Amino acid sequence: MTLRNTSLLKTSFSLLMLLSLLCCKPKEATQPKPNPAPVPPPTPINYTFETTPVWQDDFEVAGLPDSTKWDYDTGGHGWGNQELQYYTRKDPENARVDSGRLIIEAHRKTLSGSSYTSARLVTRGKADWKYGKFEIRAKLPSGRGTWPAIWMLPTEWNYGNGSWPDNGEIDIMEHVGYDPGQIHATIHCNYYNHSKNTQKGGRILISDASEAFHVYTIEWTPNEIKAFVDQTQYFQFPSSYSWQTWPFDKKFHLLLNIAVGGSWGGAQGVDESIWPQRMEVDYVRVYKLKEE
């Protein structure tokens, strides 16, 4: 081995040692990142309502219902519930304003294949609302076969199958004549509806509902729907984040009607001797939601 080769070997050995030291140098310890601060829960919102109605009808002008506020659903064919009435349009026998009250009156009268006539007034196309407080002061008809309702349907049908019950229904007041005084408030949606016998509702006994006026109310907010009679709450339904259980995040309109018979109203038959029967409405008032 020559001197030149010996020097080369020494130099190579030194380089290998240096590389070994560099490769074996321990890594600096990595400090763990602190956990992010917990996100506080959202502050609950206290929803209240304006004290002046944003929409109302006190029925002060006699004659046909105010055409700037009310339209009509018309026709027969059972309305999906095997009902017996034909809903007329602009017929004062079935819907009129008299002495400061709206009169919706059902008659035993044959029309277009139906055995009874009645009226179904709607605010669709005139007024609708997303949330609010809805007050209706009314006196109800009586007798087996009567089925009055104060309720709400969506103006847009854009959830699920585009039909009922996917888009929701809010029943402010229903009463069937064979069960006198039992007032019902109910919601219907994809998960909860009467076709599945899963509807969510409450009831309260108002023994003189057909003899005296009472105020039927719902309070509808992003949090819940609550129902009252004369300020006594008897039903509450909480909101959720699914259209299947809460399609109540869009505008709905009001309906007032008397059905005759049907799958519920006629469950114990129809007394043919009681007609005509009327629902009298003293006022309808809608209060806008406000946030505090």
Q: Are 88 and 73 in contact (CB under 8 A)?
A: no
Return the number of other C-beta atoms located less than 10 Å from residue 43's C-beta. 6
Q: Which residues are catalytic?
A: 169, 174
Q: Which amino acid is at 250?
A: K
What does DSSP assign to residue 267? T
Residue with tokens 């004659």: 63
Return the number of other C-beta atoms located less than 10 Å from residue 154's C-beta. 22
Q: Are 104 and 118 in contact (CB under 8 A)?
A: yes
Distance between CA atoms of residues 98 and 135, nearest Å: 20
- b or e along 13-30 (b: 16 or more beta carbons within 10 Å of the residue's beta carbon)? eeeeeeeeeeeeeeeeee
Q: Which two tokens stand for residue 262?
A: 């049907």
Cα distances from 175 to residues 35, 58, 73, 180, 205, in angstroms, run 57, 23, 20, 8, 10
